[in-house]
Structure 1
Amino acid sequence: MSNSERVVLVLGGAGTVGSGVVKALLDKGFKVAVISRERSRLDRLCSFVSPNTKDNLTTIVGNVGSEDGAEQVKQELLKAVKVTDVVSSLGFSWWQGGPPHTQSLKDLQWVIDCLLYSTFVSWKVFFPLVRDDSSCTYTFITGGAGEKLLMPGTGFLTVGAASSLAFCQVLREEYPDVACKLNQVRIDTGVATAERLAPGFLNHLELGEAIAAVVQQRSTSHSVFNINSPADLKTVLLDQHI
C-alpha cells in the first residue's frame, strides 16, 4: 500500500505528542483519524495541520477510555474509513500531586485510568482491525517515568507509567507471532511545542516525523525504540535504524 492508501488512527492525536504525529503523517501523504472527547481540541488540531492536508483528516468526538465508548466510536469510525495503522499516544506526560500519603485512592485510580486503562481498552477494541495483516502497524508511545522517580511528588506518575510499560512488554511476549507490526517508542525526556522548548526537550514536530517514519517503514516488529535525547531521536529513528 502507498501512504495515500493507508489510514492511521492516532489515539491521543489532539495532545502535544499526538498533534506532532498527526501533522507528520498527513504531510507524508497518509490519511489520519483522531478521536477526542472534546470538539474544541479537534478544532485546534484542524487549524494546526497543514492547510492542504485537512481533507485527509477525519475527526470524531468520542471516549476511548471506556469499553462501551470505544466500541461506539469504532463503529462510527468504520463508517468513515478503513483503519490500516494505529498509533497509541494516550495519557499525560506530567503529574506532581505530592507524596503518596497525601493522596487518595481516587487520585491513584485517575492516574491508572489515564495511563493504563485507556491504553488497554483502546488496544482491545482497535487492535483486531489490524492484527492479522502484515502490512499494518500498531505503535505505542510511552514514557520513561515508569523506571524512576523523576522528582519528589511524582510517585503516582511513576506507578502509572510503569504499568503502561509493563502492558507493552506483555503484548510483545503474549503475541510473538502476530502479523501486524507491533512496536513501542519509549520517550525518556520532555516533549514540547516549539514555543515551549527547554534544553534537552524534543520538538513535538521532530518527534512526529520520527514516529511517522516507524509507521511508514514497517520494517521491524516487536521492537522498542528508546529516545533519551534529541540526538537519539535522529540516530535511532530519522537515520532509518528501524
Structure 2
Amino acid sequence: MLAPEVLVLGASGKVGSGIVAALLEAGSPVLAVGRDRRRLERLAEEHADEPGLVLLPGSVANDRQAARLAAQVAERPRPLRAVVDAVGGAHRSGRLLDGPVSSLRRMLDDDVLPHLAAARHLLPLLGRHGDAPGRYILIGGPQTECGWSGYGQASVTVAASRMLAKVLHEEAQPLGVRLQLLAIDSPVWTVDNAAHACTGWPSALAVGRNVVAMLASHAERGRCVVAFSPPHAAPPHRLLAGDIAPSLVAPPLSGDGRPA
C-alpha cells in the first residue's frame, strides 16, 4: 500500500510553502493545493528532487469549489494522513470605524468561510490509520487574544477563525478526526518582510516543523488550540512513518541531518 500523504491547502503561500518544506523534510508525501498554478510550479521547482511532492491546483473559496477539490482528492491512490489548512488572506490595515460594514463582510467571506468550506468536504475523507485518528490542522495567526492595533478587520476575522476551529474540533470527533489549531502569536518571518521583521518572529519553515511535531506526537491530543513552540522549530529527529502505522521511525542520521 502506498504511504499516506498530507494535503496542504494554501501550499504556495508564504506560510504554506514552509509547511510543505517541513513535511518533505520529515519524509512525508505531500499533496500541495493552491489556486495559483504559477506559484505551485515555482514550489515544485524549489523541491525538484522530491518525488513525494504532488501539485493539485484547486480552491476552497466556497462550497462548490471545495466539493470539486474533495472529489479529486478522493480519487487519489494514496490514503490521506492529514489535512493542513494554511489558507490565509492579506491583512489590510485600517480602523474598523473608518470602513463600511461591507468591507468586514467581504473579509469574513474571504478569510473565514473558506475554512468551513474546506472542513465540510475534506473531513469526511480522513479515516483512522490503525488506532490513530485522522488529523486536521488549521494555522491561526496573531490577534486572537486581543485586538491588533491598526488591523481591526484582521483581528475580527482571525478571532472568528479560532472560534470556528473550536466548534469544528468538537464536531470532528464523532468522525474519528482530531482537529486542532496551531496558534502563532506573532507575524511570520518571510523573505518579503525581512527588512522590518522583528527578532523572535518564527519563519514559515519553523511553523511547518511545528505542524510536523503535532502530527508526530500524541501529546495534547485533547486540546483544540496548540501554541507555537520554538523547540519544535528545530529539524525533526525522527521521520514521519512511511506507512499507515501512526508510529514514527528513527533511522540513523548523518552529520547533515539526512538519513544515513
Name the aligned partner's letter for residue 215 of structure 2. V
Please list every run of 5 or more consecutive structure 2 residues that lacks an aligned counterpart in the other structure: 238-260
- Structure 2 counterpart of 1:145: 143
Name the aligned partner's letter for residue 126 of structure 1. L
Please list every run of 5 or more consecutive structure 1 residues that lacks an aligned counterpart in the other structure: none
Name the aligned partner's letter for residue 48 of structure 1. E
Q: 1:180 to 1:68 in 2, by over 3 A?
A: same
Moved more, 119-128 or 136-145: 136-145
* Alignment partner of 1:91 out of 88, 91, 102: 88
- Structure 1 counterpart of 2:117: 121
Alpha-carbon distance, 1:219 to partner: 4.6
Taking the aligned partners of 1:125 and 1:105, their CA distance within structure 2 comes to 30
- Structure 2 counterpart of 1:10: 8
- Cα RMSD after superposing both structures: 2.6
- Structure 1 counterpart of 2:204: 204
Name the aligned partner's letter for residue 179 of structure 1. G
Secondary structure in 1 matching 2:112: helix
Name the aligned partner's letter for residue 46 of structure 1. A
Taking the aligned partners of 1:122 and 1:6, their CA distance within structure 2 comes to 19
Taking the aligned partners of 1:69 and 1:176, their CA distance within structure 2 comes to 25
- Structure 1 counterpart of 2:158: 161
How do 1:26-37 residues align onto structure 2 when only pairs under 5 Å count? 26-37=24-35
CA-to-aligned-CA distance 1:197-226 (integer Å, 9 cap, x gap): 531210111221121121133454242222
Secondary structure in 2 matching 1:146: coil
Taking the aligned partners of 2:220 and 2:146, their CA distance within structure 1 comes to 28
Are the equivalent residues in 2 in contact too, given 1:85–1:138 (CA < 8 A)?
A: yes
- Structure 2 counterpart of 1:104: 100
- Structure 2 counterpart of 1:225: 226
Name the aligned partner's letter for residue 226 of structure 2. F
Alpha-carbon distance, 1:102 to partner: 2.5
- Structure 2 counterpart of 1:214: 214
| Higher radius of gyration, 1 or 2 | 2
Are the equivalent residues in 1 in contact too, given 2:213–2:232 (CA < 8 A)?
A: no
CA-to-aligned-CA distance 1:20-77 (integer Å, 9 cap, x gap): 111111121111112211101111211233x321x21121222211111111122223
- Structure 1 counterpart of 2:53: 57
- Count of equivalent residues: 230
Q: 1:47 to 1:71 in 2, by over 3 A?
A: same
Taking the aligned partners of 1:237 and 1:183, their CA distance within structure 2 comes to 21
* Higher fraction of helix: 1
Q: 1:216 to 1:6 in 2, by over 3 A?
A: farther
Are the equivalent residues in 1 in contact too, given 2:80–2:125 (CA < 8 A)?
A: yes
TM, length-normalised to structure 1: 0.84
Are the equivalent residues in 2 in contact too, given 1:144–1:186 (CA < 8 A)?
A: yes
